[in-house]
Amino acid sequence: MDNKKEIFAGIIVIGNEILSGRTLDTNTSTLSIWLNSLGIKVQEARTIPDIEEIIIQNVNELRKKYNYIFTTGGIGPTHDDITASSISKAFGIEYGPHQEAMSILEKYYKPGEFNKGRQKMAHMPIEASLILNPTSGAPGFYVENVFCLPGVPSILKSMLGGITNKLVGGDPILSKTINLRTVESEIAKSLKNVQDMNKNVEIGSYPFFKAGKLGVSIVLRATNQKNIDKCNLEIMSFIEEKKIEIVEKN
């Protein structure tokens, strides 16, 4: 029986380089997959520029709307890294050198290497809790339900394990994918019938193109395996009836 309440999250990707297309955002996908595994459903993802008032506005809006907010980008040593100061203003907390972060970075760098630019990475809301960084030393941080992570994908990924125990999740979200050699119009009505009879399963259909042929991936998502299995049986039934080919898709 599903007895855990649903937990929701929002993601805010911060950076002009994402909006310009110079840098590809993979962090939204990484965070969404990780959060799903914890039973936290991502409801919304926004990509915004490095502009203080826009960061403050989006953080304040989404932190009231969802259980958790994750920001990526803008916590490095350069002049356009303004996420930490913007979060301080969003919460009305003093921005400055965080003593624990300063101590971590002093130990991380060789004597004389912890210059002014690098010291900026230890400036954040002074009451923030730290998210340890096993890859490059500079910590992320969180204030209440807002978690601020770096934009570099490999570093972000390495930091997720350190905050798993800070989050309260619902039931993990399970999924099953069925790949078919068909077009959406061919299965739309049958799929709607299955969805109408299985409100506790989220059913999505996504066209794909492989080896010069069209196909459709049907993705079933739910917190209960029995619900997915029931739904899968009903879909397999109409697939057999319509003589639709099931295909492997890498």
pLDDT tens digits for range 141-175: 999 999 999 999 999 999 999 898 899 887 778 88
Q: Which two tokens stand for residue 180?
A: 């078919």
> Would the pLDDT of 233 be above 60?
yes
pLDDT in tens, 17-70: 999 999 999 999 999 999 988 999 999 999 999 999 999 999 999 999 999 999
Binning pLDDT at 50, 70 and 90, where does residue 3 land?
very low
What's the confidence (pLDDT) of residue 249? Answer: 60
CATH homologous superfamily for 7-166?
MoaB/Mog-like domain (3.40.980.10)
Q: Which two tokens stand for residue 62?
A: 């989404």
* Mean pLDDT of all residues belonging to the chain: 92
Between CA 142 and CA 68 the distance in angstroms is 10
Higher pLDDT, 126 or 208: 126
Higher pLDDT, 14 or 171: 14
Sheet containing 174-181: which strands, arranged edge to edge? 202-210, 213-222, 174-181, 245-246
15 phi-psi bin (left φ>0, alpha ψ -120 to 50, beta other): left
> Would the pLDDT of 225 be above 80?
yes
Helix axis angle, 52-65 to 83-91, nearest 10°: 50
DSSP codes joined into one string, 145-205: TEEEE-S-HHHHHHHGGGTGGG----SPPEEEEEEEES-HHHHHHHHHHHHHH-TTSEEEE
Between CA 7 and CA 18 the distance in angstroms is 28
- What's the average model confidence in pLDDT over 222-237? 94
Between CA 114 and CA 167 the distance in angstroms is 32
CATH homologous superfamily for 174-246?
Ribosomal protein S10 (3.30.70.600)
- What's the average model confidence in pLDDT over 77-97? 95
- What's the average model confidence in pLDDT over 89-98? 97
CB within 8 Å of 177: residues ≥ 6 apart: 217, 218, 219, 220, 249
> Would the pLDDT of 81 be above 80?
yes
Between CA 202 and CA 246 the distance in angstroms is 20
Instruction: Return residue ranges of the chain for CATH 3.40.980.10.
Output: 7-166
- At position 166, the amino acid (one-letter code) is K
Q: Do the beta carbons of residue 228 and residue 174 sit within 8 Å? A: yes
What's the confidence (pLDDT) of residue 213? Answer: 81
> Would the pLDDT of 2 be above 60?
no
Q: Which two tokens stand for residue 227?
A: 């619900």
Instruction: Return residue ranges of the chain for CATH 3.30.70.600.
Output: 174-246
What's the confidence (pLDDT) of residue 37? Answer: 87
What's the confidence (pLDDT) of residue 4? Answer: 56
- What's the average model confidence in pLDDT over 209-236? 91
What's the confidence (pLDDT) of residue 79? Answer: 87
